[in-house]
Amino acid sequence: MVSTQFSIIDRAVEGAHAAQAQYGAAPAAVRARLLRGLADALEANQAALVSVADEETSLGAGRLNGELARTAFQLRGFADRVDSGIAHRQIDDAAVPGAPPAGRPHLTRVLAPLGPVAMFSASNFPFAFSVLGGDTASALAAGCTVIVKPHSGHPELSRRVHALAANVLREQGLPEGVIGFVDQASRDAAVHLVSHADVSAVAFTGSYQGGVALWRAANARRLPIPFYGELGSINPLVVTPAALAQGVDAPAAALAASITLGCGQFCTSPGLIVVYDDVDGERFVAALAQALAAQQPHAMLTQAMRGGFEKASAHIAEQAGVRVRLAVSAENEAATTPAPRLYETDAATFIANAALREEMFGPAALIVKVRDEAQALDVLAAVEGTLTATLWGAEADTPANRALAAAAQRIAGRVLFGGVPTGVAVCDAQQHGGPWPASTQPQTTSVGYAAIERFLRPVALQDAPQWALDANAGGITR
């Protein structure tokens, strides 16, 4: 079985490698047309795809229709940026006569696609982080071929989307290897994919354990390659006293909805809530527990994920110094859908116990009570790396709020001053990635149009003839 999977992977990578020369050198118009064609194909088959996705994931037609729309939107958005020259930017320094350091030759900095990208689909976004999701879109925009490793949580949907993609490639006269597909590879086969000599980069969204194993494989190669991994995040949200000045019910309701959105299966779900240990703070926690109890999450994506959530939440509950604020009844434990969980501890316990900083991937959160601003800063420092950090009530320009903002920026890729972290806009300014363990390359993003930069390598051309500059311009007039 494993050897068969290895052979399938080898053929897919060979196809991607063979297609890379043609696709990587294709004009910008060819890449943009492909991206728009893929968006059109998704929308033309939306009803059937959403039906299959709902059957496999239980995420609901409303959520899935919105996610498909987002996926088509970002495909077209990357096409627009390719048209504008984002993947063919050139920085030109004219020659200066004379000896160095003032004198120099003519230098032009251009961008080259890395080559075939192994793309590991995520479980929780069957469209937006899957076969034609942001990683695939950004790699194709950069001129890289892609080998998709689908997620086992939505196998039939992945096959159907890839079949649509293959049809678009045929219609546009492009090699089928531009978007390869390796169906349901085992862990050993996944390592084989990452280790293949003709794979030039890896994009991964998934668990910490799985991501680290593949990251190590990427770095253990004879020629190591970039590994762009999103590995997990607890997304702290700090509730300052100023945030509760107008009452606790509305903010508690908003936070409860965010914690349980998608059954808590968002990488940006707020899993750590920092609250001041005072009267209003306690009123807020009580209101949050009540609001969470009223939520009715849908089933989790897979039984394995449900089991992982139950294990992770039980592990938090059994730690010394942890108080259960929203208990789970025996009836809840046996139900198909998981009940929300809420736990509480103090700052000193949280900082001393690394187990309390582990992600509970599901509808749960940990409250950490702090005495003062200094303890809030200590709690944020203990978090290390996270995708998001949210500050409620930090609108005023005060030394305390500046310190909070600085602490949040040290640990997070995106800092929110209000609102909730679930929901990640696709735009040029977005940053979805943070220090380890949130991601393996915190200087890059996996959401937004800057994601294309992951798959482009700068090359300086010195005293290049015009034909060489034109060859790297993608047919874009400058």
CATH number of the CATH domain containing 150:
3.40.605.10
119 touches 136 (CB < 8 A) = yes
Distance CA 367, CA 42 (A): 41
Looking at 240-363, which runs of residues are DSSP E strands?
272-276, 323-326, 341-346
The answer to whether residues 289 and 407 belong to one domain is yes
248 and 365, same domain (yes or no): yes
Q: Is residue 429 assigned to a domain?
A: no
> Could you tell me if 387 and 467 lie in one domain?
no
The reply to whether 454 and 395 lie within a common domain is: no
> Which amino acid makes up residue 16?
A
In a domain, 331, yes or no: yes
- For the domain that residue 371 is a member of, what is the CATH number? 3.40.309.10
Look at residue 478 in the predicted model and tell me its pLDDT: 65
Residues 451 and 466 in one domain: yes
Name the strand (E) or helix (H) holding 390: strand 386-392
Note the pLDDT of residue 151: 94
Give the integer Cα–Cα distance in Å for 455 and 444. 10
Tokens linked to 338: 């998981």
**Are 224 and 240 within one domain?**
no
In a domain, 345, yes or no: yes
Close Cβ partners of 433 (under 8 Å, ≥ 6 residues apart): 230, 387, 413, 439, 441, 442, 443, 444, 445, 446
Domain that holds residue 95: 2-231+439-471
How long is the chain?
A: 478
Residues 289 and 224 both lie in one domain: no
Contacts 24+ apart (CB under 8 A), 403-406: 403/373, 403/377, 404/238, 404/240, 404/373, 404/376, 404/377, 404/380
What is the phi/psi pair of residue 145, to 5°?
A: -75, 165
Q: Which residue do the tokens 């959530």 mark?
A: 309
Q: Tell me how far apart the alpha carbons of residues 455 and 135 are, in angstroms, rounded to a whole number.
A: 10
Strand 364-370 versus strand 323-326 pairing type: unpaired
Q: How far apart are CA 435 and CA 433, in angstroms?
A: 7
Number of H helices, E strands in the chain: 16, 15
422 falls within a domain: no
Q: Are residues 102 and 243 in the same domain?
A: no
pLDDT tens by residue, the chain, 478 residues:
567 899 999 999 999 999 999 999 999 999 999 999 999 999 999 999 999 999 999 899 999 999 999 999 999 999 999 999 999 999 999 999 999 999 999 999 999 999 999 999 999 999 999 999 999 999 999 999 999 999 999 999 999 999 999 999 999 999 999 999 999 778 899 999 999 999 999 999 998 999 999 999 999 999 999 999 999 899 999 999 999 999 999 999 999 999 999 998 999 999 999 999 999 999 999 999 999 999 988 888 888 889 999 999 999 999 999 999 998 776 666 678 899 999 999 999 999 999 999 999 999 999 999 999 999 999 999 998 999 999 999 999 999 999 999 999 999 999 999 999 999 999 999 999 999 999 999 999 999 999 999 999 999 999 999 999 999 999 887 6
Cα–Cα distances in angstroms (integers) from residue 75 to residues 28, 80, 131, 229, 280, in the given order: 14, 9, 12, 21, 45
C-alpha torsion 377→381→383→387, nearest 10: 90
53: which 2 tokens? Answer: 């996705």
Total number of domains constituting the chain: 2
Based on the fold, state whether residues 255 and 130 are members of the same structural domain. Answer: no
Whether residue 31 lies inside any domain: the answer is yes
Q: Is residue 215 part of a domain?
A: yes
Q: Are residues 48 and 26 in the same domain?
A: yes
CB 461 within 8 Å of CB 467: no
Are 186 and 55 in the same domain? yes
Active site residues: 230, 267
Is the residue at 433 inside a domain? no
SS3 content of the chain, % helix, strand, coil (to 5): 50, 15, 35
Residue 198 and residue 260 in one domain: no
In a domain, 283, yes or no: yes
